[in-house]
Chains A and B, each alone.
Chain A
Amino acid sequence: GAVVSQHPSWVICKSGTSVKIECRSLDFQATTMFWYRQFPKQSLMLMATSNEGSKATYEQGVEKDKFLINHASLTLSTLTVTSAHPEDSSFYICSVRPTDTQYFGPGTRLTVL
């Protein structure tokens, strides 16, 4: 498998502020990382694919200017939720894919007041 960490594990912020979430691949050099979002009682939905050294690829319906992704090294990808609003409150999870199997981080719970 692969070991993935995320920081912070939870964050509460005021509406209109920006929040940065870090995803680290601890034992695997990941040229690609994935960002998912899960709303309560819903499935995991892929938001974007983070590519080391180049632009992220966003899924349809995901605003790239709102969810900024930076993948500056083979072990770190960051997701910044800009001008967060209550509807952005969700569980954000990243993953890496050393093989056909994706391995997930522990997730970050974002609550926007």
Chain B
Amino acid sequence: DQQVKQNSPSLSVQEGRISILNCDYTNSMFDYFLWYKKYPAEGPTFLISISSIKDKNEDGRFTVFLNKSAKHLSLHIVPSQPGDSAVYFCAAKGGSNYKLTFGKGTLLTVNP
């Protein structure tokens, strides 16, 4: 049973436009969510996180939105740059449980 789902395996966007990556979760105990960026043959790099007490967190070009009632979060990248091309993983954890549950990832391609 997949508790964190990224239903789009890939997304292609033009440079300068907005990239929107989506993530759904099923476990209502999750209260902290993270986005990681990963290049092939490298470890994931932390991008941005959000606690369930918030509905938005922004850091530069990256904004994460959380809709708790829909159990949905999204990562917005504006403006998108070719260097943003990578696989993006959504992850979640709940309470004092340190364990991260990852989605399967979305491959973002930003075309020049």
Contacts from A to B (Cβ < 8 Å): 1, 4, 6, 10, 32, 34, 41-46, 49, 91, 93, 95, 97, 100-107, 109
Contacts and interface: CB of A to CB of B under 8 A. Distances in A.
Contact of A101 (B42, B49, B89, B103): B49
B110 interface: no
Contact of B100 (A4, A102, A109): A102
Contacts of B44: 44, 93, 104
Given A41-B104, A104-B36, A104-B45, 4 more contacts: A93-B43, A100-B49, A104-B46, A106-B42
A6 B36 CA distance: 18
Contacts of A42: 104
Interface string B93-105: 1000011101111
Interface of B: 32, 34, 36, 41-46, 49, 89, 93, 98-100, 102-105
Q: Is chain A's interface secondary structure helix, strand, loop, or mixed overall?
A: strand
A49 to B, nearest CB: 8
B43 A107 contact: yes
B46 A107 contact: no
Contacts of B45: 104
Given A43-B89, A43-B103, A100 B43 contact: no
A46 B93 CA distance: 13
